[in-house]
Structure 1
Amino acid sequence: MIGDTMSGIIDSYIPVAIFLAVGLIMPPMTMFMVKQLSPRSKAASKYTTYESGSVPTGTARIQFNVEYYLYAIAFVLFDIEVLFLYPWATVYKGHGITSIAVVEMFVFIFILLFGYVYLWKKEALTWVK
């Protein structure tokens, strides 16, 4: 009786063991195959920057203005806001929400608007020319 149960448990883990074995073998095997089958070239053109088929001019390193990064961070923050608003809106539409939840959402939106006004006053949303 116990042997049959143990055998059934072991049999149920066979697909997991196969999946694990394939998962552990495939990455090194793929890397080995790429190394063996890839063409090898020591040409100087291999080490240059690709610029749509034209000859590269100047350096590839350029300096970006820090304000671009701040603009991107502000975008990500307001994008995450949508991640919080969407589930609330779907629950509100489907099941009905108490007045406490509506007040909480207005507080959340007020905090976001406060942050937006702060960014606007600091001129962080002004595009740099």
Structure 2
Amino acid sequence: MNLQQYLPVLLFVLVGVAVGVLPQLLGWVLGPNRPDAEKNSPYECGFEAFEDARIKFDVRYYLVAILFILFDLEIAFLIPWAVALTDIGLPGFWTGTIFLIDLLVGFVCAWKLGALDWE
């Protein structure tokens, strides 16, 4: 195996790390550091913080967020399928149709179980 084939991957990783770390390092080194009581005070939407920041969230919030991400990602698969529909032919069409039916059944099931209700 030739290790020169991995040189572009190594360069890509190094440039990615440099782009992620270098601005933070420059901001930490060159940025002003003049803390005072007003800057270090908790701030929330223009008001003083009146509760602990570690309050419990309802599980439904996370459930709705997870369902949104799930259905959003599944819908994202439809774009390449629609673009390549003429190239994949009838078997690809039926595979996509089965996928859409499965997506619809999952959505109806989540709806009937009350996972999308917000009270």
Query: Percent of aligned positions with the same letter in both sequences?
Result: 37
Rate the CA distance shift 1:36–1:69 in 2: closer, same or farther, 3 A.
same
Q: Supply the distance in 1 between the matched residues of 2:93 and 2:28 (Cα, whole angstroms).
A: 57
Q: Supply the distance in 2 between the matched residues of 1:126 and 1:102 (Cα, whole angstroms).
A: 33
Match of 2:100?
109
Q: Supply the distance in 1 between the matched residues of 2:46 and 2:60 (Cα, whole angstroms).
A: 32
Given residue 34 of structure 2, which amino acid in structure 1 is its aligned partner? R
Question: How many positions carry a matched residue from both structures?
Answer: 104
Aligned mate of 1:35, from 21, 26, 29:
29
Q: Supply the distance in 2 between the matched residues of 1:33 and 1:60 (Cα, whole angstroms).
A: 27
Rate the CA distance shift 1:67–1:53 in 2: closer, same or farther, 3 A.
closer
Match of 1:87?
80
Greater Cα offset, 104-113 or 50-59: 50-59
Residue 120, structure 1, aligned to residue 111, structure 2: yes
Gaps of 5+ in 1: 1-15
Given residue 57 of structure 2, which amino acid in structure 1 is its aligned partner? F
Rate the CA distance shift 1:68–1:32 in 2: closer, same or farther, 3 A.
closer
The residue correspondences of 1:41-120 to structure 2 (distance < 5 A) are 41=35, 43-92=36-85, 95-120=86-111
Q: Supply the distance in 2 between the matched residues of 1:33 and 1:67 (Cα, whole angstroms).
A: 38
Rate the CA distance shift 1:39–1:72 in 2: closer, same or farther, 3 A.
same
Q: TM-score, normalising length from structure 1?
A: 0.64
Q: TM-score, normalising length from structure 2?
A: 0.68
- CA shift at 1:96, angstroms? 4.7
Gaps of 5+ in 2: 1-10
- CA shift at 1:53, angstroms? 4.4
Can you list the C-alpha shifts for 1:55-98, whole angstroms capped at 9, x where unaligned? 33333333211111111111111111122110010112xx4542
Given residue 62 of structure 2, which amino acid in structure 1 is its aligned partner? Y
